Amino acid sequence: MISIAQRLFGVPLLLHPARAIELARFIAERKGLDLRALEEGNVSPGRDRPYQVIDGIARLPIEGTLVHKSSWVDALSGLTGYDHIRSMMDEAIADPRIRGIALMVNSPGGEVSGLFDLADRIYEIRGEKPIWAILDESAYSAAYALASSANAVTVPRTGGTGSVGVIAVHAEQSKALDKAGITVTVMRYGDRKARANELEPLQAEDRAELQSDIDRLGEEFIALVARNRGIARDAIRDQQAATFMGETGVDRGLADIVASPDDAFQIFQDTLSPGLGTHN
């Protein structure tokens, strides 16, 4: 089973930098503690549908840090899996009683694995039933990738959009191990085996390789948002992964209207069409 630390360190993430630092600190402070409590639960909706339905609109929660699969994660841990989101969407699309889908988003982003496929899925089916991303409060990085794939994006006046970029954190512990009197010897078959691990200093070639992966994913992210929102790639690239509050996000083309979640949902109910500045 992959640990939480393995999901966070030494791999590219589409995650708001503040959240990345927060998670890094959390893991560092608790290194060595028993985290199995987070790895033994199953997400269960506890009702017939895994989402709330109001007036024929399915409200799909996209909250907390986003991960590839969350079947092992207790919902109280604050993680949402792309697999869970996709399952909810597929059910809502297949349900003839559902006439629209509201993605209720409040997330700093998360893992790369599984993200682009899910974003493409949202983009593909947004013509079958109207899909609005209603931010409550913000959608950054991977969460914004999903939100941008909807027909329309709404943001509260104090909410945020953007962070269209990629980040990776390498946590090297060799000096801490030296201070603790612990000597770790890494033996490998294949020079590239288990490079850029947390037990050895990060080598220049490994750093360059990781940066290459980050750059490639960053360009894919930019292309995704450009397609979804009808914005030139250079305009998104020039944002340099900045975040934008409320109306500024609308001005930058990352959102369509400024509205509270309740007001945005009411507008969606009233329109239930790809109008009002939406993107098809």
Q: What pTM did the predictor assign? A: 0.78
Q: Could you say which DSSP state residue 167 is in? A: B
Q: Tokens in use for 20?
A: 């990345």
3-state secondary structure of 198: coil
pLDDT value at residue 63: 94
Task: Identify the CA nearest to 101 among candidates 127, 78, 66, 77.
Answer: 127
Q: What per-residue confidence (pLDDT) applies to 48?
A: 62
The answer as to whether 221 is a domain residue is yes
Whole-number Cα distances in Å, 180 to 161, 173, 196, 244? 43, 11, 21, 44
Residue of 31, 71, 193, 212 with catalytic role: 193
Of the candidates 141, 149, 163, 260, the residue annotated as catalytic is 141
193 catalytically annotated: yes
Residue 154 lies in a domain: yes
Could you give the CA distance from residue 226 to residue 220 in angstroms, rounded to a whole number? 10
Q: With respect to residue 10, please indicate whether it lies within any of the assigned structural domains.
A: yes
Q: What pLDDT tens digit does each residue of the chain (280 aa) get?
A: 455 555 555 566 666 655 555 555 555 554 443 334 333 333 333 346 778 999 999 999 999 999 998 755 445 578 899 999 999 999 999 999 999 999 999 999 999 999 999 999 999 999 999 999 999 999 999 999 999 999 999 999 999 999 999 988 878 888 888 888 888 888 888 887 888 878 788 888 888 988 999 999 999 999 999 999 999 999 999 999 999 999 999 999 999 999 999 999 999 999 985 444 444 5
Is residue 126 within 8 Å of 92, Cβ to Cβ? no
- Cα separation, 241 vs 14, whole angstroms: 10
Separation CA 6–CA 4 (nearest Å)? 5
> Residue 209 falls within a domain, yes or no?
no
Structural domain total, the chain: 1
pLDDT at site 5: 54
- Structural domain including 133 reads 4-168+216-269
Whether residue 78 is contained in a domain is answered as: yes
Question: What are residue 244's DSSP bridge partners?
Answer: 161
Domain assignment present for 255: yes
Does any domain span residue 123? yes
Which pLDDT value is given to residue 190? Answer: 86
Return d(Cα 157, Cα 279) in angstroms, integer: 21
Identify the CA nearest to 162 among candidates 153, 151, 174: 153
The reply to whether 179 belongs to the active site is no
Cβ-proximal residues to 46 (8 Å cutoff; 6+ apart), any chain: none
Supply the CATH number for residue 151's domain.
3.90.226.10
- For residue 205, being part of any structural domain is answered with no
pLDDT reported for residue 189: 86
